């Protein structure tokens, strides 16, 4: 069996162990502690936002974002359709109705055209914009629409930490931003997330709710529903070390993407996920798209790679196609039966984008795929 090439995995930089050691030596092992405080400061400084709440996951961050914006049972929330279920599950947690917005072909992200269609028929309490595979959505167009309608934006930047949109950090353009530090993200805390904002009251409220909504009394008192959503001090220590090497990881991810693009340039039926000129992605995952005229399918490629012990994956299956969410409203960016997101799902796959891959590993992936076109 050949050595396995994985899709994306944790990649330590060196200082993570130093910060974890600090936590051990100070005996701050239980949740919260100095590392959490410093990690929040580091994230706020890096992103350019004033405040950050370190949480147990990106999902928790989206959930608290919805709560702090007052989303409750019976409300509606618009959400990108081409995404992972974690983007919209918290809408249902709150008893609200998710309404799914199709992608545009230019970026794979939320389509302003589809967003306009949805606003003609619904008034949501919030709009969740997902920055897919590390590239920012076209936020100026989306923000213009949402501002006109008086609706706040939550940026699900779980996949796009380190990316920019017109010189602004991804996740900092909406009222609230969310990052994820899951094990497969560009940097990791082993599992975790963060909520960022320029509004101190929102972040204070999120921290309060994330620590079981415990009132500041000598005894345990709770006046509202709380959650166990805070990031641990040990995880935050890992995150501090990871954040220091984020720019290096972005450069490595870009190199992987560029190598794939160069490797497949002679095969007309293969294209890579688009890179928009309004910003710079973090290239979290490199996505290969097969032309609809080809007899080769994403599954053919996935199985061929599996034969060589190489991991790959279909792109996200759009939410409106998921059995659990199929009853909720969906707005396409195009006319007819096929949505853009569904088309990308049917023709795309995520290639190995692990920053620990060697040049030989990347070429092994390319050669395996190119054999299918011989």
Q: What is the DSSP letter of 8?
A: -
Phi, psi of 31 (to 5 degrees): -55, 145
CB atoms within 10 A of CB 102: 26
Token pair recorded at residue 297? 């399918």
B/e letters for 226-263, b = 16+ CB within 10 Å, e = fewer, are: ebebbbbbbbbbbbbbbbbbbeebbebbbebbebbbeb
- Sorted by sequence, the CB contacts under 8 Å of residue 306 that are 6+ apart come out as 312
Helix (H) or strand (E) holding 38: helix 34-47
* Sign of the alpha-carbon dihedral angle for 260, 247, 236, 223: negative
Secondary structure (3-state) at 290: strand
Residue 185 annotated as catalytic:
yes
- Sorted by sequence, the CB contacts under 8 Å of residue 125 that are 6+ apart come out as 69, 70, 71, 75, 76, 77, 96, 151
DSSP codes of every residue in 63-94: HHHHHHTT--TT-EEEEESSS-GGGTHHHHHT
Distance CA 207, CA 13 (A): 29
Matching residue, tokens 């920012």: 136
Exactly one of 185, 254, 356, 370 is catalytic; name it.
185
Active site residues per annotation:
185
């Amino acid at each position: 069996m050949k050595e396995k090439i994985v899709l994306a995995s944790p990649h330590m930089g060196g200082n993570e162990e130093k910060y974890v050691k600090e936590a051990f030596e100070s005996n701050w092992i239980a949740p919260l502690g100095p590392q959490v405080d410093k990690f929040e400061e580091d994230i706020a400084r890096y992103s350019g936002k004033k405040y950050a709440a370190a949480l147990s996951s990106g999902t928790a961050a989206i959930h608290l974002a919805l709560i702090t914006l007052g989303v409750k049972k019976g409300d509606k929330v618009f959400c990108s359709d081409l995404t992972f279920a974690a983007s919209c599950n918290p809408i249902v947690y709150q008893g609200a109705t998710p309404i799914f917005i199709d992608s545009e072909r230019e970026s794979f992200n939320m389509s302003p055209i589809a967003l306009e269609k949805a606003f003609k028929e619904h008034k949501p309490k919030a709009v969740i914009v997902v920055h897919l595979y590390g590239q920012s959505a076209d936020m100026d167009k989306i923000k213009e629409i949402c501002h006109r309608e008086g609706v706040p934006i939550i940026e699900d930047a779980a996949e796009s930490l380190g990316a920019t949109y017109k010189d602004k950090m991804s996740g900092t353009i909406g009222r609230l931003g969310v990052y994820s530090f899951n094990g497969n993200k560009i940097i990791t805390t082993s599992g975790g997330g963060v909520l960022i904002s320029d509004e101190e009251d929102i972040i204070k409220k999120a921290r309060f709710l994330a620590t079981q909504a415990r009132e500041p009394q000598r005894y345990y008192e709770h006046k509202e529903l709380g959650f166990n959503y805070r990031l641990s001090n040990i995880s935050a220590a890992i995150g501090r070390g990871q954040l220091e090497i984020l720019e290096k990881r972005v450069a490595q991810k870009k190199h992987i993407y560029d190598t794939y693009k160069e490797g497949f340039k002679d095969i007309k039926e293969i294209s890579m996920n688009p890179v928009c000129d309004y910003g710079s992605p973090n290239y979290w995952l490199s996505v290969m798209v097969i032309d609809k005229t080809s007899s080769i399918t994403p599954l053919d490629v996935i199985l061929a790679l599996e034969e060589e012990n190489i991991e790959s994956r279909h792109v996200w299956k759009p939410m409106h196609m998921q059995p659990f969410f199929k009853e909720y409203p969906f707005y396409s960016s195009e006319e007819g039966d096929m949505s853009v997101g569904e088309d990308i799902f049917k023709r795309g796959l995520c290639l190995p984008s692990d920053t620990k891959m060697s040049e030989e590993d990347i070429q092994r992936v390319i050669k395996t795929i190119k054999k299918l076109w011989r």
